[in-house]
Structure 1
């Protein structure tokens, strides 16, 4: 019989400290999180182990909230709270997701293609 790997389950209400809303508005699933210029760990007393895990995860580079949640095996909603706390503490930066590009007008592309063909 193969052993099923056990993962640590952290209830969302524990990771969020029982709060209903994060302190920073505007966080979405695709908000990009990246570390500040300083390479020092957060020294704030109120930061829990989950905050430190998120900060350590983002030290090498940027991830979206969804990607960070997957790595931490936490719900996205709980990861939003953790990220908001770290942004407020000055340990992380958050950037809004890049908006979807508008669809290109097909007639413009066809005229461009015709123009390129006439250059031959």
Structure 2
């Protein structure tokens, strides 16, 4: 049985057709986030409850991000759940961060290198081969 969609009906348009709105329309044509770089493993946490009045006045994608981020979720997972390109999700996250509807927790940027003793042992082991 065919889902009843509003408007004109087409044989090629069904529930499996995916989003009809192009990603650049969701971002208003922007290609870079206004703030932040949003690492893939950074965590997003909602700063407001899902039913908050400010969140209800947003675009559907923004509202979905606020709902998803009621518990910490990574940027990569948000993109996966929304089934949107990562660049689009980063712009939507920047909008929410600017509106103070979410908080971001970036991973530590300090690299941890192995100690010199371990590296020397590996080099010596390779030389022994």
TM-score, with length taken from structure 2 = 0.66
* Residue matched to 1:117: none
Q: How does 1:41-52 map to 2 (within 5 A)?
A: 41=52, 43=54, 47-52=58-63
> Where do 5+ consecutive residues of structure 1 fail to align?
109-120
Q: Quick one: which of 57, 66, 84 aligns to 2:94?
A: 84
Change (3 A) 1:96 1:42: farther
**Secondary structure at the counterpart of residue 84 of structure 2:** coil
* Residue matched to 1:58: 69
Shift of 1:107: 2.6
Shift of 1:22: 1.5
Question: Is contact 1:31-1:95 (8 Å) kept?
Answer: yes
Question: Is contact 2:43-2:72 (8 Å) kept?
Answer: yes
Shift of 1:45: 7.9
**Secondary structure at the counterpart of residue 44 of structure 2:** strand
* Runs of at least 4 residues off by over 4 Å: none
Q: CA RMSD in A?
A: 2.7
Q: Which has the higher contact order (CA 8 A, sep 6+)?
A: 1
* Residue matched to 1:70: 80
Deviation track 1:90-112 (CA, whole Å, cap 9, x = no partner) reads: 1100122233651332637xxxx
* Matched positions, count: 104
> Where do 5+ consecutive residues of structure 2 fail to align?
1-14, 119-129
TM-score, with length taken from structure 1 = 0.70
